[in-house]
Amino acid sequence: MSGLISIAIIVLAIIILLLATLFIVPQQRVAVIERFGKFNRTAAAGLNLRIPFIEQVAAKVSTQIQQLDVTTNTKTKDNVTLEIITSVQLLIDETKVFDAFYKLANPSSQIRSYIFDIVRAQVPSMTLDKVYESKDEIANNIEQALSKQMADFGYIVTKSLVTDINPDKRVLDAMNQINEQERLRDAAQAKAEAEKIIKVKQAEAEAEAMKLGGKGIADQRKEIIAGLRESIMELQEVLGSGVDPKEVMQLVITTQYFDALKEIGANSKTNTLLLPHTSQGMQTLTEQMLAANLSSDKK
C-alpha cells in the first residue's frame, strides 16, 4: 500500500514538474523569460521549455499592429483654436522585444507626448486653410519623426493619419456661413445668366417675328395693289378705254367698302363704328382711300 502511495507521489511530482517546465505562447505573441528576475531570453509562439522555479514568464508581448488615437489641442497662425485627431499604427519589433518591454514604463503615454510635441511644433506656423490642405503633410511628418524616435525603444511605426480637424464651434459656424454665402452667390449668378439668356432669346424671337410680320404685311399690300390694278384693268376693258382710271378706282373702293359693311353687319358681336357715315363723308373717305392707294402704287 505504501508502495502505491509512493508511486502516486512520484507521478504527481513528475506532472507538476512538467507543468512547471512546459508553457505555451499564443500566435502573434512573444514571451519574455526572466531568470532570477533578470531578462534571459524571448520565446516564440508555440510550445516552449523553461527551467522550473528558476525561470519564469515575465510577460507575453503582442506583436500585432496596434492603433493609438491621439487628440491634440493647438492654435493656428491666424489664432484659431482647434483639435487635431491623429491615429498612429505601430507594432513591436520582434528583434527588440527587450527594449519595448523594459525601456518604456508607459508606452502609450510617452508616444502621445511625442505626437503632441510634433503637432504643436508644426501647426502654429500654418493658417487654418493651410492646415486642412496639409493633412497628409502633417501625417507624414508625424510618421517620420515618430519612427526615428521610437526605433530606439523597439517600436515600428507603420502608418500615421490625421483623421479629423475640429476648429472651435464659432469658427466652424463662420466657415459654414461663408460657404453658404458663396453657394448663394453662385446660384444667384447662375439664375441671372439664365434669365439673361431667356430675355435675349425672347428679344431675338420678337425681332424675328416682327421682321416676318413686316414682310407679311408688305407682301399683303403688294397683293392688294396687284388685285386692284387687275380690277381696274378689267373694268377699263368692260367700260372702254376712255374711262378715267380715277373713276374706276373710286368704283372699286366703293364696292370694297360696301362689302366690308356687309361683313361687319353679318357679325352680331361687332363693335365697329364708322364715322362720319354720310354721303359727303363717304365721298371724303373714298378720296382719302384713293389717294392712299395711288400713293402706294407709285411707290
Task: Tell me the pLDDT tens digit for each residue of 229-256.
Answer: 776 677 667 666 565 666 666 666 677 6
Whether residue 176 contacts residue 100, with contact meaning beta carbons closer than 8 Å, is answered with no
Examine residue 107 and say whether the peptide bond preceding it is cis (omega within 30 degrees of 0): no
CA 139, 145, 146, 147 torsion-angle sign: positive
At 271, the pLDDT band (50, 70, 90 cuts) reads low
Segment (H or E) for 273: none
Note the pLDDT of residue 292.
59
Whether residue 82 contacts residue 165, with contact meaning beta carbons closer than 8 Å, is answered with yes
- Evaluate if residue 154 carries a pLDDT over 70: yes
pLDDT digits (tens, 9 = 90+) for 98-109: 999 998 888 888
Of the two residues 186 and 267, the one the predictor is more confident about is: 186
Q: What percent of the chain has pLDDT over 70?
A: 75
> CA-CA distance, 75 to 71, in Å (whole number)?
13
Q: Residue 154 contacts by C-beta under 8 Å, 6 or more apart in sequence?
A: 92, 93, 96, 97, 98, 99, 100, 101, 103
Strand stretches in 20-154, DSSP E: 22-25, 29-35, 38-43, 46-49, 55-62, 66-75, 81-92
- Evaluate if residue 32 carries a pLDDT over 90: yes
pLDDT digits (tens, 9 = 90+) for 170-206: 777 776 777 777 777 888 888 888 888 888 888 888 8
Q: Which three cell numbers stand for residue 24?
A: 505555451
At 52, the pLDDT band (50, 70, 90 cuts) reads confident
> CA-CA distance, 220 to 293, in Å (whole number)?
13
**CA 28 to chain CA centroid, nearest Å:** 44
- pTM: predicted TM-score of the whole model, two decimal places: 0.53
Give the count of alpha carbons within 13 A of 132, CB side only. 7
Q: By C-alpha distance, which of 36, 84, 31 is closest to 58?
A: 31
Q: What is the CA radius of gyration of the chain?
A: 54
DSSP sequence for 148-192: HHHGGGTEEEEEEEEEEEEE-HHHHHHHHHHHHHHHHHHHHHHHH
Note the pLDDT of residue 249.
65
At 155, the pLDDT band (50, 70, 90 cuts) reads very high
